[in-house]
C-alpha cells in the first residue's frame, strides 16, 4: 500500500455519497450545505443572464458576512470598549516627577506646582473610584 506524503484530505462530493433512505445521518451539516447550495444555484440560474453574476456575488458576500459574524460572536470574550480613565495613576507619576524637582534649588517652584497638580489628580481619582463603585 503506497500513499503520497503530501496528499491532502479531500471531502467526498455529493455524487460520491450513497443516496437513498438511511444512507446519511439526519443532521449531517455537509448534506445541509450541499442542499442549500443547490437551492441557491437554482435561484441564480433561474434569473436572467444579466443578473446572474450579481446574484452569485451577492450570495457569496452574504455567506461570508454571516459566517464571519458568528465566528466573531463566539470569539469576543474581552471587554468591548476601552477601560475607563482613572487619574489616580497619573497622579502617582506626577508625584514621582515632582520629587526630584523639589529637591533642586532652581526648580523647586516647578516641583511644587507639579505636586499640587498631582494632588488635584489624586483627589479626582479617589472621587471617581468611589462613585464608580456605587453605580
So what's the pLDDT on residue 70? 60
- Give one word for 22, left, alpha or beta, with left for phi > 0 and alpha for psi -120 to 50: left
Q: Which residues of the chain have pLDDT under 50?
A: 1-9, 20-23
pTM, two decimals, is 0.40
Name which of 95, 96, 103, 99 is nearest 122 in CA terms.
95
Amino acid at each position: 500500500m503506497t500513499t503520497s506524503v503530501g496528499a491532502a484530505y479531500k471531502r467526498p462530493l455529493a455524487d460520491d455519497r450513497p443516496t437513498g433512505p438511511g444512507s446519511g445521518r439526519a443532521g449531517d451539516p455537509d448534506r445541509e450545505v450541499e442542499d442549500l447550495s443547490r437551492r441557491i444555484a437554482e435561484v441564480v440560474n433561474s434569473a436572467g443572464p444579466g443578473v446572474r453574476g450579481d446574484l452569485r456575488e451577492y450570495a457569496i458576500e452574504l455567506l461570508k458576512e454571516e459566517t464571519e459574524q458568528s465566528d466573531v460572536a463566539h470569539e469576543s470574550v474581552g471587554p468591548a470598549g476601552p477601560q475607563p480613565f482613572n487619574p489616580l495613576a497619573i497622579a502617582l507619576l506626577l508625584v514621582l516627577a515632582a520629587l526630584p524637582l523639589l529637591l533642586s534649588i532652581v526648580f523647586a517652584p516647578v516641583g511644587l506646582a507639579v505636586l499640587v497638580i498631582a494632588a488635584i489628580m489624586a483627589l479626582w481619582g479617589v472621587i471617581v473610584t468611589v462613585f464608580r463603585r456605587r453605580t
